[in-house]
Amino acid sequence: MEPSYSKTTPGSGGAAESSLSWAALLAAYRLGPKERWSGSVIERLGPWLTKARHRLIAVPPFLDNEDIAQQLVVEVLRIAARWRPQCEDRWIPRRLVEAAERRVRMGLSRERSNLAVELDEALEISNAPEPNLVFDTPLGTASAQDLLVLYRVKVLGEPVAALAREAGITPRQMRRRVWSARKRAQASGSTGAKKV
């Protein structure tokens, strides 16, 4: 069935537009001027769009209910512009809106997963340094763990044997770890002060 292009105003829901079958209306939208037929498509899909809109949940503060409704309409028109229905005429509005609803739902899901966490003074702060954080010190390059071991041994004066027990290694291995950390903290090939 070829759609008739009557002289009614766009989206007015005139007699010619309302008497079209769903397949003919989609064909008219796909083939004819989109501005003329988009209002009729959206108007006739009103009840299905309303139900779909109520099933979708907003993601404040970035997306509110109006944004979701607008995105649902955009997706319906995008699908209608290229979809050639292969089902009975009575199933077309439901399938069209369900496809648009799925796309909007996927977008909302992505939006929810990418929400930024607002910093709050009530949030707990972890005192543990990041394990692979590397500091470029004036003396050389050392990891956070290297600096922590050196601080505990050289500044706080903790015994190497106590650190070894805490780490579950022998004192000899801990001395080697302290020595390696010290070497990494020193500048390679530096012309700094000589050791005494």
Nearest Cα residue to 140 out of 192, 74, 79, 88 = 192
Tens digit of each residue's pLDDT (9 = 90 or more) over 56-92: 887 776 678 888 888 899 998 888 888 787 778 788 8
From residue 106, alpha-carbon distances to 46, 66, 75, 99 in Å are: 22, 17, 12, 11
Tokens 């080697």 sit on residue = 176
Average pLDDT over residues 122-133: 60
CA distance 144 to 152: 12
Q: Around Cβ 147, how many Cβ atoms within 10 Å?
A: 18
| Termini Cα distance of the chain | 99
CA distance 102 to 114: 18
pLDDT for res 176: 92
Collapsed DSSP state (helix, strand, coil) of residue 89? helix
Helices (H), 45-194: 46-55, 65-80, 92-113, 144-150, 160-167, 171-185
pTM of the model: 0.49
Chain centroid to CA 132:
26
CA distance 24 to 12: 17
For residues 85 and 188, the model is more confident at 85
Q: Assess whether pLDDT exceeds 60 at residue 174.
A: yes
Percent of the chain with pLDDT over 70: 71
